[in-house]
Amino acid sequence: MIVELGHFALILAFCLALAQAFFGLGGAALRKPHWMVVTRRAVAGQFVMTLCAFLSLAYAFNVNDFSVLYVALNSNSQLPTFYRFAAIWGAHEGSLLLWLLILSIWTVAVAARGTHVPQITISRVLGVLGFISVGFASFILLTSSPFERLWPAALDGRDLNPLLQDPALAIHPPMLYTGWCGFSVPFAFAVAAMLEGKLDSTWARWVRPWTLVAWLILTIGIALGSWWAYYELGWGGWWFWDSVENASFMPWLIGTALIHSLAVTEKRGLFKSWTLLLAIAAFSLSLLGTFLVRSGIIESVHAFASDPGRGLFILVFMGSCVGGALGLYAWRASLFRSNAGFAVVSRESFLLMNNVLLVAATGLILLGTLYPVFLDALKAGKISVGPPYFSVAFLIPMLPMIFLLTLGMHAEWKRATFNRTRTLLVAAFVAAVVIALILSLAVYEWHSLLTAVGLIAAFAVALSALIEPVTRLRQGHSLSAGVLGMSVAHFGLAIFVLGVTTVESWHHDSDISLRPGQSTQLAGYDFRMNSIRDVTGPNYDAIESEVVISRAGKQVAVVHPQKRTYRVQNSPLTEAGIDAGWGRDLFVAMGEPLGDGAWSLRLQYKPLVRFIWLGALVMAIGGLIAASDRRYRQRVTADAAVRARHAETV
């Protein structure tokens, strides 16, 4: 009964989303204030109904209602309660319901926080968001309802995929969806601006905090996925250039470009049409990600539940969103000419370079991701593009970008002189070279020129990011949240680059066969397999080995890697034993029995690998600080107030 109520609530949510789209866009076009008020009511109603639908599914999972097909396929009575909740988004149908819920949360937030935005603009924004909700709600209702009954009911469920029974992965999809969905807000604002034919600094100030929040959540979501892959899936790798990883990463890159382009639009009123294009692109790539993951056209660890009909629906929906927005852009772009100029060396130029390089990197990743798909669709042969392509293609635009960043942070608007910061920048660069060489030659062994360049880039950005906050604080000036956030985010990037360069240059790994009592050496550490025993978990059985790691005769760590077999699905899973540390991770994973008591083991030494995720976290914190800047909380400006009054009287 509860489940049917949930289904009914979802249908109501769909109807309310229709109303939201119709009254929002129509009310703004016809200047009808009453319609705009209805839009807000519809937003609230849609949220409540979607929440009811979601909670009813959560209830079905919680009480183990295996007469619901989706529950029977993705849960089990032995599954711990926490994972019974996480199992809601363990597969396609529930993921989409979560997506819709998150979208309606964003919509409510825009309606609630957007009180300083003229009503007519906010009405258009809510209308566009309503249109997107209509798309997703009808997608769920027509092709992938999680509320379908199973008759007769299953005695027990088929269990959640063991890979997904992990705390990091339980929160990874919601974070990712929140980030992806969040880009629908700048998209909606972009469409609203194009419909209105007006885009100014105030508009950029409305959009920036939303973009920042979506971006920072996506940053955390991607980092969580990478961390999970590292210890659960990837045998110690942290990024695989897997199609679905790429799908999550491309919106992030474009989102990063959008944040920087918005800075120029806000401060100088430039790059307007470019900003609009980026806002459209960020959301389009988020939709493309959904399409790639859900249509099953790409081969990937993530591409599980696939159905061509679903793929077609998303393709049509994506086509109408993106095509509509681009059509509108082609029609309206001429209204957004900017006439202010800037010198070749200026903050504007640096930010332009940032945008060009980020878009180039996205384009190259898109090429590698979609080319095999097109070739396959044309029946021209089956190929795959190896990860080395992505590494090279990504590095070509990104390395120059990171070096330009050290200067760009301090370039003045209009015409950069670097008068104030020249000495400090030179000092920072010299220091970066010295530190990089010390690390390259004394701490580790010389690896390659590229490694040294990567380290120089990391330290140059880190030191350059410190210049502004440190000098301002020493001179007793205050520091705006915007500048502080920028510095922190760039410092996070430096930490990330340091981690990536170090781990990629100086990691050691080996696959080896060990018997209890035997030991082996790796990167100066001694790995000794002590014992092998059977253990029993709540819903799995496992073989666990004890590996003692020591260095120069002194015990460093004891790890317990496991080979688990989950009872319901009878599927094996490797649970790595990791000794984590700031300086390095030591990683032991069990392979398979080789007979005669021997096991194959994968041993890894990963220097500074934690810096990769730490860097991402610091970037996200920088985004949060920047989004909290006071200027985004200003009340209605005089100009906007006039327009709002105008809208209400018409």
Q: Enumerate binding residues for another protein (CB under 8 A).
A: 73-74, 90-92, 95, 158, 160-161, 163-164, 169, 173, 235, 244, 293-294, 296, 299, 301-302, 304-307, 344, 360, 364, 367-368, 381-389, 392-393, 396-397, 511-513, 515, 563, 569-574, 589, 591-592, 594-596, 598, 600-602
For residues 326 and 281, what is the distance between their CA atoms, to the nearest angstrom?
10
Q: Which is nearer to another protein, 396 or 535 (CB)?
A: 396
Distance (Å) of CA 114 to CA 128, 205, 323, 503: 15, 12, 27, 44
Distance (Å) of CA 312 to CA 134, 141, 219, 316, 571: 16, 15, 29, 6, 32
Q: Which is nearer to another protein, 169 or 280 (CB)?
A: 169
CB of 126 to another protein, least distance (A): 30
For residues 263 and 201, what is the distance between their CA atoms, to the nearest angstrom?
9
CB of 206 to another protein, least distance (A): 34
Q: Which is nearer to another protein, 465 or 601 (CB)?
A: 601
Q: Which residues contact 512 (CB under 8 A, 6 or more apart)?
A: 520, 600, 601, 602, 603
CB of 202 to another protein, least distance (A): 34
CB of 58 to another protein, least distance (A): 17
Three-state SS letters, 63-124? CCCCCEHHHHHHCCCCCCHHHHHHHHHCCHHHHHHHHHHHHHHHHHHHHHHHHHCCHHHHHH
CB of 348 to another protein, least distance (A): 16
Q: Which residues contact 41 (CB under 8 A, 6 or more apart)?
A: none
Length of the chain: 650
Residues of 397-413 as b/e, b for ≥16 C-beta within 10 angstroms? Answer: bbbebbbbbbbbbbbeb
Q: Which is nearer to another protein, 140 or 280 (CB)?
A: 140
Contact between residue 211 and residue 166 where contact means Cβ atoms under 8 Å apart = no
How is residue 399 written in tokens? 């390395």
CB of 507 to another protein, least distance (A): 16
CB of 595 to another protein, least distance (A): 4
Q: Which is nearer to another protein, 65 or 166 (CB)?
A: 166
Q: Which is nearer to another protein, 305 or 624 (CB)?
A: 305
Q: What amino acid is encoded at 89 in this protein?
A: W
CB of 514 to another protein, least distance (A): 10
Q: Which is nearer to another protein, 336 or 390 (CB)?
A: 390
Residue 631's nearest CA partner among 340, 262, 108 is 262
Report which DSSP code applies to 601: E
Q: Which is nearer to another protein, 352 or 494 (CB)?
A: 352
CB of 63 to another protein, least distance (A): 20
Q: Which is nearer to another protein, 296 or 581 (CB)?
A: 296
Q: Which is nearer to another protein, 383 or 650 (CB)?
A: 383
CB of 592 to another protein, least distance (A): 6
Report the alpha-carbon angle 15-18-22, nearest 5: 145
Peptide bond just before 152 cis, omega within 30 deg: yes
Quickly list H helices, 183-200. 184-196
Element (H, E) at 560: none
